[in-house]
Amino acid sequence: MSFASYVHRYYNTGYLVYQEGGESGKVCADHLNRSVPEPEMERVLNKMGESMCDILDYQTLMHIDVRVDTEENNDIRYVDMVGPMSDKSRSNRRSFVSVPCVSREVVHIECSDIRCGKTPARLPSTAHTDFLERSGDFAPGLHGDWPWHVALVKNGQHVCDGTLVHENWIMTTAACFQGYVHHVWMLFKGHFKMFYVAAKAKPSGRQGSLPPA
């Protein structure tokens, strides 16, 4: 399971995934099940879930539990829940410790109320520097720079833009829809190169008619 499998997918709910050194793995609950007494399990899980949601810039933990991983993929890797934090791992300068996860029990988490104006999926500053050195005189936008930015596309053409102000609401200009009220529009977010948007702006995608602003 490569890091690239997850870097462009940022959701508020799903399996807890640990990433380091270009690799990733689902967090296995085997050690947790063996080391934490059952009466303490809920408290430990909630504490971990609140910490994870906060790291991801969400304000609220909605739910966290341990469940059997049903994903059918031979490339799945698992990481020990305690191994990454152990003294042995620190001394070896390794915190990504792969385990077989015999039980296939993993941690599943759901967060809500994302903090506005944050860029939790933004690439590190070194990535921007590398791109700037290669491009010469301009710094291109990279993944995660503006997660609130939305592209509005009509008939496969990028017409205007909008800003995500709520999970289900986008703010844009009224001029964007003048004369096009009943046309089919598509909305794209999470893309940083417009040719990706154009390639996906096909009738088979998610679409709908928008009311005037």
Give the domain extent around 65. Answer: 4-113
- What DSSP designation does 98 have? E
Q: Within a domain: residue 184?
A: yes
Residue 116: CB partners within 8 Å, gap ≥ 6?
A: 148, 165
Which tokens hold the place of 44?
């430990």
Burial of 135 (0-12, 13-18, 19+ CB in 10 A): exposed
Q: Within a domain: residue 155?
A: yes
C-alpha 32 chain-centroid distance: 25
Q: Within a domain: residue 126?
A: no
Closest to 172 (Cα-Cα) out of 192, 197, 193, 189: 189
| Per-residue confidence in pLDDT tens, the chain, 213 aa | 444 444 445 678 999 988 776 778 899 999 888 889 999 999 999 999 999 899 888 899 999 999 999 888 778 889 986 544 444 444 444 455 888 999 999 999 999 988 888 876 676 666 656 656 666 555 566 767 778 888 888 887 888 899 988 878 899 998 888 877 677 888 887 766 665 555 555 544 444 333 333
Tell me, yes or no, whether 200 and 109 share the same domain: no
Q: Within a domain: residue 97?
A: yes
